[in-house]
A and B are shown apart, each in its own frame.
Chain A
């Protein structure tokens, strides 16, 4: 394997202009900056309606310094597939040089990926289209005011999973839909998870995905200030804690092999991640224990897939 990248490998060029209206401290904004550093300028982005879309393209302005198209909630992946096919056709007809490498990247929210755009995503993956699909996951429908999605974690308060005596936030008792497993079930050559609190890792994964032909999926955790009820300066800290507690595991899958890219020899209890966020404030010890059990099970599953204990036990 080549030398691991460091922060000094991140290019200085910015393809996401300032002046966008993402909230103070938005994790998605950090992710977009580094995704674009990895794609470089020869890329076409498709984006369904989402926070990322409404805040970056408030008419008559755009924050994107690369070609970018807004599409419906359902079809970011389908439009990306169409663009990839169009590029191929234009190459065949000689309008674009055959060796010009133009990347096609769809970036959708968790609502646009886990729920509404799921069918289009499945189509892109199943046909083997040369598209990188990135889901930035703030774990709810944020831009319409914090409604639950298929990605909302157990216990999280949202406006549609309220908190009281009967409702205790998100109710789904099991682990949420596993986007990476879904991608792998479509026989993709590459799939990974990432997190803007680890930008070098995110950058490396986008670069690597783009070097591989065919459909690729990257699932990016995206701390959200109003939706998670966190202080704006804490979004990176919360992103780091997600990994240090095992709530989120940074890993990649490449042609049958799993690799954890941020090993955690000793885990912190999930409580440390939960307690910084107002959306989990109501949780009782009993409820936190249930979340800890879900995390322990997922850690064990990933360790097994990797073949060794890369994520250690909870300390203290």
Chain B
């Protein structure tokens, strides 16, 4: 990321691009990574609701479990931004999320 000089900045340092923080990938902060077991997940929306980063995505992707349960939605972690706080794993009512150590 290259920073502009002060003469190029808008007056008052106004930021003109809404939500531009997406350019900054906070996934690098993570030491533990949440992994969702799609077989166990009951699509309750709890992790999506509580994630401080909004890093749990709710996607219209159908999923059929091995036992034949069908779901219209799938929850996925956006690892670009997930900071690995572990709230999702702590709050998941069926313990479908495991925090595993990141290895580089």
Which residues, 62 to 85 on B, are CB-close (under 8 Å) to A?
78, 80-81, 83-85
Q: Does A233 contact B90, Cβ atoms closer than 8 Å?
A: yes
Contact of A233 among B3, B19, B23, B86 (CB under 8 A): B86
Contact of A26 among B49, B52, B91 (CB under 8 A): B52
Q: How far is the CA of A62 from the CA of B39 in the complex (A)?
A: 37
Q: Does B24 contact A19, Cβ atoms closer than 8 Å?
A: yes
Contact of B21 among A26, A61, A232 (CB under 8 A): A61
Q: Does B49 contact A10, Cβ atoms closer than 8 Å?
A: yes
Please give, as numbers and ranges, the residues of chain A lying within 8 Å of B15 by CB-CB distance: 57, 59-62
Q: How far is the CA of A25 from the CA of B86 in the complex (A)?
A: 8
- B34 to A, closest residue via Cβ: A233
Given A7-B45, A19-B26: A14 touches B18 (CB 8 Å cut-off): no
Identify 23 residue pairs between A and B in the complex whose beta-carbon atoms are under 8 Å apart, listed by A's number: A7-B45, A7-B46, A7-B49, A12-B58, A17-B19, A17-B22, A18-B26, A18-B78, A20-B26, A21-B26, A24-B29, A24-B84, A24-B85, A26-B52, A34-B49, A56-B21, A58-B24, A61-B23, A62-B20, A63-B19, A199-B49, A199-B50, A233-B89
Please give, as numbers and ranges, the residues of chain A lying within 8 Å of B91 by CB-CB distance: 236-237
Which residues, 5 to 50 on B, are CB-close (under 8 Å) to A?
13, 15, 17-26, 29, 44-46, 49-50
Please give, as numbers and ranges, the residues of chain B lying within 8 Å of A22 by CB-CB distance: 52
Task: Tell me which of B29, B46, B89, B90 has the highest count of chain A C-beta atoms within 10 A of its own C-beta.
Answer: B90
Q: Is the interface of A mostly helix, strand, loop or mixed?
A: loop
Q: Does A58 contact B87, Cβ atoms closer than 8 Å?
A: no
Q: How far is the CA of A7 from the CA of B50 in the complex (A)?
A: 11
Please give, as numbers and ranges, the residues of chain B lying within 8 Å of A8 by CB-CB distance: 45
Known pairs A7-B49, A233-B89; list 12 more (Cβ under 8 Å). Answer: A7-B46, A8-B45, A17-B54, A19-B23, A19-B26, A24-B85, A25-B85, A59-B15, A62-B17, A233-B99, A236-B91, A237-B90
Q: Does A62 contact B21, Cβ atoms closer than 8 Å?
A: yes
Q: Does A61 contact B18, Cβ atoms closer than 8 Å?
A: no
**Which size class do A's interface residues fall under?**
35 or more
In the complex, A66 has a CB within 8 A of chain B: yes
Q: Does A232 contact B85, Cβ atoms closer than 8 Å?
A: yes
Q: Is the interface of B mostly helix, strand, loop or mixed?
A: loop
- A200 to B, closest residue via Cβ: B49
Q: Does A64 contact B49, Cβ atoms closer than 8 Å?
A: no
Residues of A within 8 A of B (CB): 7-8, 10, 12, 14, 16-22, 24-27, 29-30, 33-34, 56-66, 196, 199, 231-237
Given A18-B54, A19-B25, A20-B21: A59 touches B13 (CB 8 Å cut-off): yes
Q: Does A235 contact B87, Cβ atoms closer than 8 Å?
A: yes
Q: Does A62 contact B46, Cβ atoms closer than 8 Å?
A: no
- A36 to B, closest residue via Cβ: B54
Q: Does A16 contact B54, Cβ atoms closer than 8 Å?
A: yes
In the complex, B53 has a CB within 8 A of chain A: yes
Please give, as numbers and ranges, the residues of chain B lying within 8 Å of A56 by CB-CB distance: 21
Minimum distance in angstroms from A101 CB to a CB of chain B: 20
Given A18-B78, A33-B54: A64 touches B18 (CB 8 Å cut-off): yes
Q: How far is the CA of A22 from the CA of B51 in the complex (A)?
A: 12
Q: How far is the CA of A73 from the CA of B55 in the complex (A)?
A: 30
Please give, as numbers and ranges, the residues of chain A lying within 8 Å of B53 by CB-CB distance: 18, 20, 29
Q: How far is the CA of A179 from the CA of B89 in the complex (A)?
A: 34
Please give, as numbers and ranges, the residues of chain B lying within 8 Å of A10 by CB-CB distance: 45, 49
Task: Tell me which of A24, A61, A66 has the highest count of chain B C-beta atoms within 10 A of its own C-beta.
Answer: A24
